[in-house]
Chains A and B, each alone.
Chain A
Amino acid sequence: MMYDTEYFIRFVNIFAKYLAENKEYLTQLDAAIGDGDHGINMDRGAKAALDRLSSINPKTPGEVMRTVGMALLSSVGGAAGPLYGTVFMRMSIAFRNNDKIDDKGLVSALEQALLGIKGLGKAEVGDKTMVDVWEPVVNFLKENIENGRTLPEICADVVALAEERMKATIPLQARKGRASYLGERSIGHQDPGATSSYYFFKSLCEAIGGE
């Protein structure tokens, strides 16, 4: 399948919708082990992104991602700002000026985004962060797309895997970010960054079907 500018705008709108609907939930998760602002921050960032998209009217997928990335950098406020900002900026760079992105292009952009997150936060799988969702999901996508499958064919599995890995952060002890200051007290809570990452991948999949 080919992913065009409309697809990425649809994706950002769905992601923003999930962040708005789950603003309280994400904030509650963050209040348990962080500073309690992830939901508010992500929702504010996503709304700023939608505002910029409607005023800039981007012409390519790369332009969509760059516009969103800069909006998140400026408006999210917490650590998620640079982290999600990096995700969108890295994907924008990977897309170059192409009008349409194929499955391989999408996966390699997601791989770049993952490298960006890991380079910035130095987190590994098991540290109770967004990497706990990102790494297994990107690896799963890479393996399947390399074997000739397409994202629409494996969407249900992608969403299920993201959800499973998100829930798997509950028993972990945080080793990065503010939650790590809590030591063992961080055990038993789902990681808010892993949760917003689940919405990210869910939105990528749902944007395929149109809205």
Chain B
Amino acid sequence: MLSILILSHSPEIARGLKNMCLQMAPDDVIIEAVGGTKEGNLGIDAELVLNKLQELITNSDGVVILGDIGSTILAAKNALNMLSSPVNVCIADAPLVEGAVIASIEASLGSPLQEVVKKAEETKFVSKL
């Protein structure tokens, strides 16, 4: 089973998006979210990102990470560096909300890691109008 790690600068976005993903993909995928600082303000706790990622690597077959603005991606890249770039972890270069929802569904359908990442990244080009 794959897992999806949602990272946001905002604790509310992280929580809300996790709920959205769980509604669409309640089974066969692990969905986790980290957002905000220790105190619950805007920001990211990069140590918590590292710990959460380590936990997901242990408990699933692969991890797709999605983030919003710069600091969340830096926190994710830092965690990957500190874990010596594990092979079964990818950062998806995708819009956070659309990417996370699609990735959750795709992962719950049993698609392999690279396919989940690809589907998430394709949301960059999906027209809404």
Could you list which residues of chain A lie within 8 angstroms of chain B, going by C-beta atoms? 35, 37, 41, 70, 73-79, 81-83, 85-86, 89, 116, 119-121, 176-178
Contacts and interface: CB of A to CB of B under 8 A. Distances in A.
Contact of B47 (A35, A73, A86, A119): A73
Contacts, number: 65
A82 B47 CA distance: 9
Report which residue of A70, A83, A85 has the largest number of chain B beta carbons within 10 angstroms of its beta carbon: A85
Given A89-B82, A178-B70, A75 B77 contact: no
5 contacts: A73-B78, A75-B45, A77-B71, A119-B81, A178-B69
Given A74-B47, A74-B48, A121-B74, 16 more contacts: A70-B47, A73-B46, A73-B50, A74-B45, A75-B45, A76-B43, A77-B71, A79-B74, A81-B71, A82-B77, A82-B78, A83-B74, A86-B81, A116-B81, A120-B74, A120-B78
A105 to B, nearest CB: 21
Nearest to B82: A89
B75 interface: yes
Contacts of B81: 86, 116, 119-120
B37 interface: yes
A116 B81 CA distance: 9
B85 to A, nearest CB: 11
Contacts of A85: 46, 78
Contacts of A77: 37, 41-45, 71
A76 B82 CA distance: 18
B124 interface: no
Contacts of A35: 42
B69 to A, nearest CB: 7
Contacts of A74: 38, 45-48
A41 to B, nearest CB: 7
Contacts of B48: 74
B94 to A, nearest CB: 18
Contacts of B45: 73-75, 77, 81
B71 A79 contact: yes
Nearest to A116: B81
Contacts of A86: 78, 81
Nearest to A86: B78
Given A177-B70, A178-B70, A81 B82 contact: no
Interface in B48-101: 48, 50, 69-71, 74-75, 77-78, 81-82
B77 to A, nearest CB: 5
B58 to A, nearest CB: 20
Given A85-B46, A119-B81, A120-B78, A75 B38 contact: yes
Given A89-B82, A178-B69, A178-B70, A78 B43 contact: yes
Nearest to B74: A82
A144 to B, nearest CB: 29
A87 to B, nearest CB: 11
